[in-house]
Amino acid sequence: MTALSLAVGLGLGGVAMQAGAADAPTLSKDDFEKAKTLYFQRCAGCHGVLRKGATGKNLEPENTMKLGQDRLERIITLGTEGGMNNFDDIMPKEDISLLATYIQMDPPKPPEMSLALMKERTKVYVDPKDYPAKPLHDRNWENFFLVIERDVGKVAVVDGDKHEIVAHIDTGYAVHVIKALEHSTVSKAENPGRFWYTMGRDGKLNKIDLWQTPDKMLVAETQIAYDARDVAISGDGKYVVGGAYWPPHFVIVDAMTMEPLKVVSSRGVNVDGDYVEESRVAAVYDTPNETSWLVSMKELGQMWQVDYSDIDNLRIEKIDSAKFLHDGFFDPTGRYFQIAANASNKMVVVDTKERKLEAMIDVGKLPHPGPGANWNDPKCGPVGGTTHLGEGTVTVWGNDPAGHPDQAWKVCYTVETDGPGLFIRTHPNSQYVWADQTKHPEPEVQQTIQVFDKDTHEIVKSIRITDKPGYAAVHTEFNADGTEVWVSVWNRKDSKEPNGEIVIFDAKTLEEKGRIKGFYAPTGKFNVHNRVEHVT
> Annotated catalytic, 412?
no
Q: Please tell me the distance from the alpha carbon of residue 293 to that of residue 533, in angstroms, as a whole number.
A: 17
Contacts of 247 (CB under 8 A, 6+ apart): 110, 111, 112, 113, 225, 226, 265
Provide the CA 428 distance to its chain's centre, in angstroms.
Answer: 23
Catalytically annotated residue among 168, 368, 427, 529: 368
Q: Is the peptide bond before 423 cis (omega within 30 degrees of 0)?
A: no
Classify residue 127 as exposed, middle or buried by CB count within 10 Å of its CB (0-12, 13-18, 19+): exposed
Of 332, 327, 272, the closest CA to residue 301 belongs to 272
Catalytically annotated residue among 47, 249, 475, 529: 47
Of 458, 437, 346, 335, the closest CA to residue 397 belongs to 346
Catalytically annotated residue among 65, 84, 199, 303: 84
> Annotated catalytic, 368?
yes
> Annotated catalytic, 457?
no
Of 287, 117, 299, the closest CA to residue 185 belongs to 287
Q: Please tell me the distance from the alpha carbon of residue 29 to that of residue 27, in angstroms, as a whole number.
A: 6
Catalytically annotated residue among 176, 249, 326, 404: 326
Q: Please tell me the distance from the alpha carbon of residue 409 to that of residue 129, in angstroms, as a whole number.
A: 48
> Annotated catalytic, 347?
no
Of 274, 458, 462, 434, the closest CA to residue 369 belongs to 434
Catalytically annotated residue among 43, 105, 258, 412: 43
Q: Please tell me the distance from the alpha carbon of residue 47 to that of residue 59, in angstroms, as a whole number.
A: 7
> Annotated catalytic, 404?
no
Helix (H, G, I), strand (E, B) or coil at 210: coil
Of 358, 331, 327, 330, the closest CA to residue 341 belongs to 327
- Residue 156 near residue 502 (C-beta atoms within 8 A): no
Question: 53-88 burial, b for 16+ CB within 10 Å, e for fewer?
Answer: bbbbbebbbeebbebeeeebbebbbebebebbbbbb
> Annotated catalytic, 84?
yes
DSSP H or E stretch at residue 46? helix 44-47
Q: Is the peptide bond before 132 cis (omega within 30 degrees of 0)?
A: no
Catalytically annotated residue among 46, 105, 347, 412: 46
Count other C-beta atoms under 10 Å from residue 123's C-beta: 13
Q: Where in the sequence numbering do the catalytic residues fall?
A: 43, 46-47, 84, 326, 368
